[in-house]
């Protein structure tokens, strides 16, 4: 039921899983379908670059192959190869990154946290990114206080002018998940304080305004429990309505209308 090229491709993946790299390459070379060309061309590039360098250990090329597998969604094979690389060199950062992202992307949050915390020790330059992902993982595990513990470190680094902060978008994403934590915890005070700080970010999106209007204005209307959040800071609500009209393009103005209504 498979085409010849599909059969060859998956047989080649199987050979990669069991460390038969030359056998896998021979099968990849027989594939003519453009469907797999991006994956196969990247493997060729990796092999060419590594072969041009002197005294490069085999696990270096294997790690790059695992990274290519990760990027194309073949998580289990990427994990297996990365674990084998760590048996040869447990100080090499790339396999830890592959393992962390593989577990994160397959919703294995607890294992992802373990690898991300190791990475935050090994790779100081990207420490804040790893801590953000740890915060997200704890949120997905419904562990809101540990999530906030890690997410708040991104905000602290930003306030201190930390040059390792990758971009303002990481801070915005941290605020988004902090708000999700506070919503889950029904922590009104910290929720409104975070929304106030979040309003100053330059990369607000349609979903940010929608979530604010829903939680502060619409949800109380449906639940009939009173407008507690609105009464905490009516001016902030007006500020969100006003900012919505300046940030969102015309195709997204329905969210602003929703807030006004």
Q: Are 95 and 83 in contact (CB under 8 A)?
A: yes
Name the nearest CA neighbour of 243 among 216, 203, 215, 214.
203
Q: What pLDDT shows up at residue 163?
A: 57
Rounded distance between C-alpha atoms, residue 173 and residue 151, angstroms: 9
Q: In which element (H, E) is residue 82 found?
A: helix 75-88
pLDDT of residue 251: 83
**pLDDT at 219 > cutoff 70:** yes
Tokens matching residue 197: 């700080």
Question: What average pLDDT does range 236-254 have in this prediction?
Answer: 92
C-alpha span between 102 and 118 (Å, rounded): 15
- DSSP labels, 122-142: H-GGGHHHHHHHHHHHHHHTT
54: pLDDT confidence band, cut at 50, 70 and 90? confident
User: Is the pLDDT reported for residue 148 higher than 60?
Assistant: yes
């Amino acid at each position: 039921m498979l085409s010849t090229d599909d059969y060859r491709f998956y047989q080649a993946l199987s050979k990669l899983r069991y460390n038969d790299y030359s056998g896998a390459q021979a099968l990849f070379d027989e594939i003519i379908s453009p469907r797999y060309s991006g994956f196969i061309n990247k493997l060729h590039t990796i092999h060419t670059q590594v072969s041009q360098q002197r005294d490069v250990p085999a696990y270096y090329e294997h790690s790059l192959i695992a990274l290519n597998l990760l990027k194309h969604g073949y998580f289990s094979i990427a994990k297996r190869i990365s674990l084998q690389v760590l048996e040869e060199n447990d100080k090499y950062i790339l396999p830890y990154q592959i393992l962390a992202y593989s577990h994160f992307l397959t919703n294995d949050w607890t294992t992802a946290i373990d690898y991300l915390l190791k990475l935050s020790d090994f790779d100081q330059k990207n420490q804040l990114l790893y801590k953000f992902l740890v915060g997200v993982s704890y949120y997905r595990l419904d562990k809101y206080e540990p999530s906030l513990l890690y997410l708040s470190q991104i905000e602290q680094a930003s306030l201190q002018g930390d040059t390792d902060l990758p971009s303002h978008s990481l801070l915005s994403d941290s605020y988004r998940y902090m708000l999700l934590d506070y919503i889950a915890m029904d922590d009104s005070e910290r929720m409104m304080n975070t929304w106030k700080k979040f309003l100053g970010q330059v990369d607000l999106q349609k979903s940010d305004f929608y979530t604010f209007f829903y939680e502060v204005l619409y949800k109380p209307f449906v639940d009939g429990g009173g407008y507690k959040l609105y009464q905490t800071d009516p001016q902030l609500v007006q500020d969100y309505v006003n900012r919505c009209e300046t940030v969102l393009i015309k195709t997204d103005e329905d969210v602003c209308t929703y807030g006004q209504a």
